[in-house]
Structure 1
């Protein structure tokens, strides 16, 4: 896309964004995600990342959920602390819903985490889910099950296992997103 005023259009749906990036900021905001974001911007893609495109006065949660629906592709960067954030898990579940209902393309990226830990919610992911069960969501087991189902499905999807190989995977995204 060369024109910054046009949106990608598909025969089924018009998209506001080419790419939505979901990630846990404390882990990778100033490294992998910033490189990925900059790469997509250089390619002329409209990217929704974190709070960079939020309008003042709008509810963050509503706008983020709408941005997910308005994106052609979602990239979920799973990192060590991703599941510690209930908001990240809500984003992930919303992305999963768009994959199921709207046939949205989803690319999981496993950033210094073992994909099997996500599939089976073991290791640090088990600890995070256990904490959510005991604390904030102890009276909402359906929410936890929804997150587990989404995470298992997305972790079983074809994705990228990025373990200290940033340069290679930015090139891979270049080939895939074009």
Structure 2
């Protein structure tokens, strides 16, 4: 089992040992709840979103701050992860932070094939296509360009994270 040390680095002061990114409707009441409990039982200070948190178009300062102040990140990819703009924004921010640091990132592929994420095929392709079609309907040219740039950023982040070693969990008993 992966062991995270809960002591903080002397060069950086982290508020959280782990930032947990996941699509709530897919895994909140199942796998992610079990993972969250296991992390807490190991004494790790873990950030996860609150079900009642208000969601908007843009990721909130609280989430950006939590991503920045986390020593490590665990991303639980599930069937509908890429359907959420919020999840894709979290992923892009995490990848940007990871590329500028030596922090641990553990992708968990929960009923999702890592190659679908890497190649952006299957459910990932469908989700990105849905976002692109919606963004293309934006009437403001500058806003539409910004939105299409987000798609590029998300695609890059998906490819990068799928190239990392992670855990693949699919239809396993007691997985």
Q: Answer yes or no: same fold by TM over 0.5.
A: yes
Task: Look up the match of 1:4.
Answer: none
Q: Structure 1 residue runs of 4+, over 2 Å off?
A: 164-168
In the TM superposition, what is the alpha-carbon distance from 1:11 to its structure 2 partner? Answer: 2.8
Cα distance change, pair 137–26 in 1 and its aligned pair in 2 (3 A): farther
Cα distance change, pair 60–116 in 1 and its aligned pair in 2 (3 A): closer
> TM-score, structure 2 length as denominator?
0.84
Q: What is the total number of aligned residue pairs between the two structures?
A: 158
1:163 aligns with 2:170: yes
In the TM superposition, what is the alpha-carbon distance from 1:166 to its structure 2 partner? Answer: 6.9
In the TM superposition, what is the alpha-carbon distance from 1:60 to its structure 2 partner? Answer: 6.8
Equivalent residues in 2 for 1:21-170 (5 A)?
A: 21-51=20-50, 61-136=60-135, 139=144, 140-165=147-172, 167=174
**How large is the RMSD of aligned CA atoms in angstroms?**
2.1
Task: Look up the match of 2:10.
Answer: 11
Cα distance change, pair 147–166 in 1 and its aligned pair in 2 (3 A): farther
Could you tell me whether the CA contact under 8 Å between 1:90 and 1:147 is conserved in 2? Answer: yes
Question: What CA distance in whole angstroms lies between the structure 2 residues aligned with 1:167 and 1:71?
Answer: 28
Question: What CA distance in whole angstroms lies between the structure 2 residues aligned with 1:137 and 1:17?
Answer: 38
SS of 1:164 mapped into structure 2: coil
SS of 2:28 mapped into structure 1: helix
Q: Which runs of 5+ in 1 are unaligned?
A: 1-6, 169-178
In the TM superposition, what is the alpha-carbon distance from 1:111 to its structure 2 partner? Answer: 0.2
In the TM superposition, what is the alpha-carbon distance from 1:167 to its structure 2 partner? Answer: 4.3
Question: What CA distance in whole angstroms lies between the structure 1 residues aligned with 2:19 and 2:174?
Answer: 20
- Per-residue CA shift, 1:38-58, capped at 9, x if unaligned? 011111110001127x7xxxx
In the TM superposition, what is the alpha-carbon distance from 1:14 to its structure 2 partner? Answer: 1.2
SS of 2:100 mapped into structure 1: helix
> TM-score, structure 1 length as denominator?
0.82
Cα distance change, pair 166–111 in 1 and its aligned pair in 2 (3 A): farther
Q: Which runs of 5+ in 2 are unaligned?
A: 1-5, 138-143
